[in-house]
Each structure stands twice: as C-alpha cells, then as structure tokens.
Amino acid sequence: MKRLISALLVLGAAVAAPSVATAADTAWPNKPVTFLVPFPPGGSTDFIARTVAQKVGDKLGGTFLTENKPGAGGTMGAAYAKRAAPDGGTILVSSLGPFVISPHLVSNPGYDARKDFDFITVAVQAPNVLVVNAKSPLQSLKDVMEYLKSNPGKMTFASAGNGTSDHLTAELFWQETRSQATHIPYKGGAPAIVDLLGGQVDASFSNINTCLTHIQSGKLRALAVTSAKRSPLLPDVPTMEELGLKGVTVTSWQAFAAPKGLPADIRDKLRNAIVESLNDPAIKPKLLELGFEIVGNTPAEFTKFQAEEYDRWKRVIEVGKITTN
C-alpha cells in the first residue's frame, strides 16, 4: 500500500507539473525583460528607454534592463530584436529611423519594418526647429524663402548626418517649396550645432532637444517649428503650418515594439505601464522640460502611424535621391 501511495504521489506531481509551468509562463514578467536600444548610450532614445524601464519595473514588479546594440543606423539592433522570441523578453525601443527611414537607405537591413514587429506605442515625440545663427540677417521664414529663390543652392543646412530626421526634414522642406540648398552632413547633432554657432553653416532643422539651450541663450534664432502646434517651450515661435507650409509638419519620435507574435495580453499590459510611467509626476515634467511631448498612443494607432510615416519618408528619399554615402 505504501508503494502504491508513493507511486500515485509521484504520478500526481508529474501530471501537475505542466500546469504549474504553464501558469508561470503566463505570469509575465516572470523573467528579466530587456529594452533593446539600437543606438549608443547617452542619446535621446537611450534616455527614454532607461527612464521608462525603471518605472515600468516598479509598476509591474519585474526586472527591466536596458541594453545597447548600435550599428548601421540602428538596423543591427532592430534585426537582433526581430530574431528574439516573441514572449515579452525583448522589447525594441527606437527612434523613427529603424522603423521608417533606414529600411529605404540600407539595402538589406535584416528585417521588414512593416511585418516583423508588433507595435506597442509611440512614447514621445519632439519637433524640429528651423534655426539660424543669431547674427544671421535672416529674420523669418519669409526671409529664408526669398534667399533660397534668389540664390538657389547657396544656402547651407547642417544635419546630424545623411538620412537623419533633420536632414530629411530639410529635404522635405526643399521639395515642398521647390527650392534648392546645400546639405552639410555631420557625425551627430552636436558638431552640426557647433558649426552653426560658429557661422560655418547657415541653418539647420535641428531637433528641439539639441538646440533649445542655444535658442534660450540667444545664440540661435528660431524661425519656425515643424510640429502641428506651437511648442510650449517656444511659445513665440510659429509653426510651419501657421506660416503656410502644411506639408512640412514633422516630429522625431521614440517608440516601443516587439518581435512579431507578442501575445496581446502582454502587449496591452506593457503599453499601459509605459503610458503610466511617462505620465508619472516624477517623470512627465522632466520630459516636457527637455522638449519631449508625451504621445502614448494605442498599438492600432501606432501601426497606422508607422505605415503612413514609412510611405512618406520613402517618397522623400526617392525624390531626393538620398543615400547614406
């Protein structure tokens, strides 16, 4: 009898084990979650990932880590994320580049931005600002337009590099206004601003995070912002739309996505925690001070937005014959 009871206990344990394991597997996050950033540490995307990771971990009771895998304009990290298991263990945190720009500039990025990810939410966005040196004779967008028309190809626009948001905003601006200028690419936004401050280049569609302090100090003059509404940080600076250019409404953005196949319950749980974290009283004011506008849209809204942005920048790149060389 004792042998029979022992055998039944062993059998019962064996039968029950799969049920216990299954329950544990669904109790996400049941293991460390990696927020994968496809850029080096220290940039805007890295900042957003690390800031949100800490708060999301507090809210969901799990361990959320941030890992950087830079290279090839963010496509190396995006390709790595695409190959990860769709179990909520790896989440891609990226700017718009790998999602809607780099696929048109890199011949084989290693992923299909339209099919290989489940889109969770756009976390934040920030406008670009058309800026000139404070000593520039150009006082308004109208002055810029008149100069471009009178001096085709002579005005120089600095950017953080070929294919970056500030570069493509300039290209879009030239295409919409049928004007010509000269693009001067730099290796990052900081050196581009240095030369703008030094008078080596004429203008830039700089991200607000990069140029805000120089505008506030009076070293740069802001002529227009590319957002649909005026920035609360630059309330006296008109939008492109206000000035009659509705086709040059642009924002850079940071977003969260997962390898295709992420269970809907995990997706929604994570999305809600991200949005709550962004709006946390300890975080939201800091983001706004840096020029970030909180978005926190739904997966469906992000999916639609990604498709629109993908097609938009594809057209700009093809018309402008833009390459990364």
Break the chain into its structural domains and give their ranges. Answer: 32-125+253-320, 127-248
Q: Which structure tokens are listed for 325? A: 């060389």
The per-residue pLDDT for 27 is: 87
Q: Which of 91, 136, 106, 124 is nearest to 292 (CA)?
A: 124
Whole-angstrom distance, CA of residue 65 vs CA of residue 48? 13
Q: Which structure tokens are listed for 310? A: 């993908």
DSSP lists the bridge partners of residue 257 as 92, 119
Q: What is the 3-state secondary structure (H, E, C) of the chain?
A: CHHHHHHHHHHHHHHHHHHHHHHHHHCCCCCCEEEEECCCCCCHHHHHHHHHHHHHHHHHCCCEEEEECCCHHHHHHHHHHHHCCCCCCEEEEEEHHHHHHHHHCCCCCCCCCCCCEEEEEEEEEEEEEEEEECCCCCCCHHHHHHHHHHCCCCCEEEECCCCCHHHHHHHHHHHHHCCCCEEEECCCHHHHHHHHHHCCCCEEEEEHHHHHHHHHCCCEEEEEECCCCCCCCCCCCCECCCCCCHHHCCEEEEEEEEECCCCHHHHHHHHHHHHHHHCCCCCHHHHHHCCCEECCCCHHHHHHHHHHHHHHHHHHHHHHCCCCC
The per-residue pLDDT for 26 is: 54
Cα–chain-centroid distance for residue 262?
21
Same fold, 32-125+253-320 and 127-248: yes
Q: Omega before 29 cis (within 30°)?
A: yes
Q: Which of 130, 125, 82 is nearest to 103 (CA)?
A: 82
The per-residue pLDDT for 187 is: 87
DSSP lists the bridge partners of residue 184 as 158
Whole-angstrom distance, CA of residue 115 vs CA of residue 78? 13
Whole-angstrom distance, CA of residue 103 vs CA of residue 107? 7
- CB 195: neighbour CB atoms within 10 A? 16
Ranges in the chain, pLDDT < 50: 1-25
Do 126 and 253 meet the contact criterion of CB atoms below 8 Å apart? yes
pLDDT in tens, 232-288: 999 999 999 999 998 999 999 999 999 999 999 999 999 999 999 999 999 999 999
Residues 6+ apart with CB under 8 A from 26: none
The per-residue pLDDT for 35 is: 98
What CATH class is the domain 32-125+253-320? alpha beta
At 234, phi and psi to the nearest 5? Answer: -135, 65
The per-residue pLDDT for 324 is: 81
Domain at 127-248: CATH code: 3.40.190.10
The per-residue pLDDT for 125 is: 96
Do 183 and 325 meet the contact criterion of CB atoms below 8 Å apart? no
Whole-angstrom distance, CA of residue 172 vs CA of residue 164? 12
